């Protein structure tokens, strides 16, 4: 992989990387499509990274079908599929980690200790191996994207992060490889995440700016779904992921909700149309 990347760079190619853990869906193929438009060499990685799963999490049962993923990526126009083994990425005695302090401990990091250390470490390794000019990530994992962007800045990496929109089912459920775990009843219940975010968007459109009031609205919708167990539902700064008191700067409504045993995340991006403006733009 490194030889290919070196050769491509020497030929003046623009390398785009789409890092994935496989079990690909249209969210991933949208990342590939964007990379295909902007880069002359598109590389996708498929690697279920053991270091980003907690001991009680779903590493073992995470859906894996490399053959199917390879076909999907080929059809989507990927030039190279990089699918290393865990032992290639983490040789015996591996003990070097990347920790983006502060932001990695909040929200997802609080519920999944060590998760972002695993993500940042593997993404840095992928960047070292693939040498991408651009790397494509979905905004569904908003905190992940923010952490990776901080890492790129702090470590002077030569890759630019491209954040792509959330891809949703017709009823609003954000695409996720973990949706495969949901039973039919849970799949119906899972739309409650989107409904809660739509409610917050409507409240903001009516002029509500108080974070506590918005959070109460989120919890009211989520609380009405018997299969939903809220892990967190907060209004946070898009910069630090710390809670805000009032929505005035770029912010997120962020959710992590168990539907049965499956933990799903989603978010609404809230941005003033211009600095200091009370008028807001929303991205679901």
Which spans of this chain sit near ligand PAF (rule: CB under 6 A)? Answer: 19-21, 49, 52, 119, 122-123, 141, 144
- Owner of token pair 């980690």: 97
- DSSP secondary structure letters along 26-51: HHHHHHHHHHHHH-SEEEEEE---GG
Pick 86 or 224: Cβ nearer ligand PAF: 86
Q: Are 42 and 158 in contact (CB under 8 A)?
A: no
In whole angstroms, how close is the CB of 87 to ligand PAF at the nearest point?
Answer: 16
Pick 45 or 199: Cβ nearer ligand PAF: 45
In whole angstroms, how close is the CB of 21 to ligand PAF at the nearest point?
Answer: 4
Pick 98 or 259: Cβ nearer ligand PAF: 98
Told to judge if 28 belongs to the known catalytic residues of this protein, a careful annotator would answer yes
What gap in Å lies between CA 136 and CA 133, rounded to an integer?
Answer: 10
What gap in Å lies between CA 149 and CA 187, rounded to an integer?
Answer: 32
Question: Of residues 25, 28, 115, 194, which has the active-site annotation?
Answer: 28
In whole angstroms, how close is the CB of 70 to ligand PAF at the nearest point?
Answer: 16
Pick 52 or 179: Cβ nearer ligand PAF: 52
Q: State the alpha helices, DSSP H only, in the chain.
A: 2-10, 26-38, 66-76, 86-89, 108-111, 115-130, 142-154, 184-189, 192-205, 211-223
Query: Which of helix, strand or coil describes residue 13?
Result: coil
In whole angstroms, how close is the CB of 132 to ligand PAF at the nearest point?
Answer: 13
Which residues are annotated as catalytic?
Answer: 28
């Amino acid at each position: 992989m490194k030889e290919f990347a070196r050769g491509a760079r020497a030929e003046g190619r623009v390398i785009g990387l789409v890092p994935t853990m496989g079990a690909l869906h249209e969210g991933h193929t949208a990342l590939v499509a964007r990379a295909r438009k902007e880069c002359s060499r598109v590389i996708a990685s498929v690697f279920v990274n053991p270091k980003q799963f907690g001991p009680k999490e779903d590493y073992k049962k995470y859906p894996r079908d490399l053959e199917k993923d390879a076909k999907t990526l080929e059809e989507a126009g990927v030039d190279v599929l990089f699918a290393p083994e865990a032992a290639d990425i983490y040789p015996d005695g591996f003990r070097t980690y990347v920790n983006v302090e502060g932001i990695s401990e909040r929200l997802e990091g609080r519920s999944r200790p060590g998760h972002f250390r695993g993500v940042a470490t593997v993404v840095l390794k992928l960047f070292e191996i693939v040498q991408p000019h651009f790397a494509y990530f979905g905004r569904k994992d908003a905190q992940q994207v923010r952490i990776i962007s901080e890492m790129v800045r702090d470590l002077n990496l030569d890759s630019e992060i491209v954040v792509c929109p959330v891809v949703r089912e017709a009823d609003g459920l954000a695409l996720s490889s973990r949706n495969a775990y949901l039973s039919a009843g849970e799949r119906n219940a899972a739309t409650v995440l989107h409904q809660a975010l739509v409610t917050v968007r409507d409240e903001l459109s009516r002029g509500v700016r108080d974070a506590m009031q918005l959070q109460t609205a989120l919890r009211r919708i989520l609380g009405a779904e018997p299969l939903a167990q809220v892990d967190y539902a907060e209004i946070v700064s898009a910069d630090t992921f710390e809670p805000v008191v009032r929505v005035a700067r770029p912010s997120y409504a962020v959710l992590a909700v168990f539907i049965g045993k499956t933990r799903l995340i989603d978010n609404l991006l809230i941005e003033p149309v211009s600095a200091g403006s009370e008028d807001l733009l929303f991205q679901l």
